[in-house]
Amino acid sequence: MGIRVNGKLIVETYRDEIKNIIKDGVDRGLRAPSIKTILVGSDGGSLSYVRSQNNLCNKLGISYACTQLEQDISQKDIIDIIEKFNEDNSVDGIIIQLPLPKNLNEKEITSKISYKKDIDGLTDVNMGRFYKGDKSFIPCTALGVIEMIKNTGCNIKGKHAVVIGRSNIVGKPVAQLLLNEDATVTICHSKTTNLKEVCKTADIIVAAIGKPGFVTSEFIKKGAIVIDVGTTMIDDKITGDVNFDDVINHASFVTPVPGGTGLMTTTMLIKNACASWRDNVY
């Protein structure tokens, strides 16, 4: 029987650190950090993420506001809102909740965010700096995944890691961060042949494909670490990509959903926002 990774316990250390940084700044007479998020439509996963962001910001003393827009908003109107936030010196972080409706050009919209306020690490500037190894904002879920792996006590160096999913938000940046830790990385996706066989060679598996319960014990090498990034809404409940009850009997560590990477993602987002805030006000 493997160990259920306690995301709540892991994030407490980070959140205490963030809270102390903010308190120190406010005690000096500085304004609190400010985050603006834009949500188009009513995607269940995005709504859940916005709620968790708002709750955490309230606990840590961060100003947070969500602008929720209609599904049929025009490209120009959403860009106008982003540019208004870019020009507002009291705003430290701007978030676009993804996915966007298909009528909107996601790449063009995210590219309009100032790289200095791009706390999700989605702009071309931040992505380019990240893959070059320069200082940048890194996608928060990817950061959270690496922190959760490290908190198992695993030495990532030399391990074989399989990332299932190749999105710009999770799959690719997770693979890069694992490479930075000297892992040998295989990226799998919908066109990968013999997926189960590939996964069974992995010491570390990161599942980020959006298919509830897809990863079962048949994918797992005995003793592997399994990180579940899935966040699909089923019957008003967040469900992961990993069949937890099945996999826990084969893996050494498994992250639950909820209570796993989602908590880390939100915490890393706030950590990035605080870094932007400190650059702005100190």
In order of start, what are the domains of the chain with their CATH numbers?
Answer: 32-114 (3.40.50.10860), 140-262 (3.40.50.720)
Handedness of CA 242, 243, 249, 253 (dihedral sign): positive
Q: What is the pLDDT of residue 59?
A: 93
Low-confidence ranges of the chain (pLDDT < 70): none
Residue with tokens 């060679």: 201
Q: What is the pLDDT of residue 1?
A: 84
Q: What is the pLDDT of residue 282?
A: 79
166 known member of a binding site: yes
Q: What is the pLDDT of residue 233?
A: 82
167 known member of a binding site: yes
Q: What is the pLDDT of residue 164?
A: 98
Residue 169 and residue 179 in contact, taking contact as beta carbons nearer than 8 Å: no
133 known member of a binding site: no
231 known member of a binding site: yes
Q: What is the pLDDT of residue 46?
A: 82
Q: What is the pLDDT of residue 238?
A: 86
Q: What is the pLDDT of residue 47?
A: 85
Rounded-to-integer distance, Cα 152 and Cα 142, Å: 16
Q: What is the pLDDT of residue 54?
A: 94
64 forms bridges with which residues in the sheet?
35
Q: What is the pLDDT of residue 231?
A: 86
Q: What is the pLDDT of residue 186?
A: 98
Q: What is the pLDDT of residue 48?
A: 79
